[in-house]
Structure 1
Amino acid sequence: MKKQSSSIKKGIICCLSLFCSLSIQAQKLGDYIEIDSVPAFIFYIDNTGKHGLAMSMPAVYSDMLKKIDKYVKKGLIDKRQAELSKKGNVIDIKNYEESGMLKPKNKQKLFENLIPKLTEKGEENAAIIEAYCKEQNILMQEHFPWEYWASQLGQGWFIPGDYELTLFAQFYSGGIGKDYHMGISFLTKRGKELSNNTRVQDALTSITSKGGLISSTAKYADCGFRTLHRIQKTMPKLTYWFELLDNLNGAYKELNVQTCAIHKF
């Protein structure tokens, strides 16, 4: 009886392993997937075909937008833009506080010690930022709200770094830079070409039509975190392409910084 029971258990385990393996292999680019009940889509699969990366549906940082909208109405945006460095107008979610805007030097000081530690990979940066907050005795939700948001989705979720955002650009348009330009026709059809799931199609449209995706990679203390941004050129014809930027002209007025989290599978 014991041998028979052991054989049955082994058989069940083998079946479950086979089922899980088949489930993983069945995943393909553009598939809708839920991890920790978080809606997401697959945008990268490694050479094994069994593992890859999923991106959550875009979540615009609404508190930031409300604050920026308030400053727009007060006419303070142009004043803030004039105070920025020569690098341009910086996308930095935490440039704003309810009582007023943070001065660049305060944010720069916060970043100066952190930036040398950051990498191109979002998962590594999530751990680095968490450790940095503990070391500096500061609250992640106050200084790095997008990283805090990702951590609240569940274990393993993180904000993408330049590495993951480059993989997303490769998934969507083939890569980063002018060589991978996109026209209106391309953008109109691309969502349906990449996925047969309407939620994924809507997510891709939102991500690629409303400006930048926040990165957890930063290069300069006075620029804050980078973004994957859709660049537009109107002449000789309207065309777009992706670039990873340290700053964005007019970004504050566009109200379009988006946040997506990444999870391995």
Structure 2
Amino acid sequence: MSDVFTLSDTGDFFVSTSVQNTFNENGYVIVRGLITKDEITKVKDCIEQSEDIKANAFGRADANGRTSRLCVWNRAGNDVSGILARIQKVAGTMQQLLGGDEIYHYHSKLMMKEARTGGAFVWHQDYGYWYNNGCMLPEMGSIFIPIDKCVKENGCLQVLKGSHKMGRIGHALTGDQAGADLERVGMAKTLFELVHVELDPGDVLFFHCNLLHTSSQNNSDLRRYVIITSVNKRKNNPLQEHHHPQYHPLKMLPNSALLECDLFTSTEDKGFMDPTEDASHKIKNLKS
């Protein structure tokens, strides 16, 4: 079963039965060229010129002391990076893949692995964190949108295909990051295919919150910037307040809204996250 899909002859993308079955079976799908060249250029200009991102970025060290920078915001906002998370072909596709129930913007982040210095991210499941935030159901997902080319050399995402079927497993602290139980990950590697998700700017990866994934250090001369937008279902509204938001309407937009937007700084509060308030990476021992 192929995990890669392309646009229709008219340049549109639809969640067909084949797409849905692939997502359900593999825990992810890849859509080539979902974001056009002009659109991704606008997003790139936005993140590189945004004073908000510069002011709110912080580092996260791996177990070997190498650091990647990230910037996290809880509300989409109305700037270019926020519109990207709200357009139909991004948010609407994820909503369909998760079954069609209403979703909301849980958070977005810009992940920055600089050339020759970017750190690794340990094996983990996103729901390994989010369950601890009071999200009781694994009915959540993430949308991985590369701004730069993502290849093995610069630390592209790696996934264990189908590993979401294992359900949530235990997580514990490794460096500044909370990672999945390595013994269980080792066993999972004997059952599930390891896939290096190599993507071009504008390709999009949609993946389930229980999919095991990791990424290695960037030892190349290629920068690796990606935006990851995570969504939750309205019916899965967290049962406790934490550093990510409770349900609020997504206000989905037509695809045309991205190129029509000229704001590189949102006039709406994006709720940039203070890293000292992030409890996710401070998990000491989260058992399944």
Query: What TM-score do the two structures reach when normalised by structure 2?
Result: 0.27
Select the structure of larger CA radius of gyration: 1
Structure 1 or 2: more strand by fraction: 2
Structure 1 or 2: more helix by fraction: 1
Query: What TM-score do the two structures reach when normalised by structure 1?
Result: 0.29
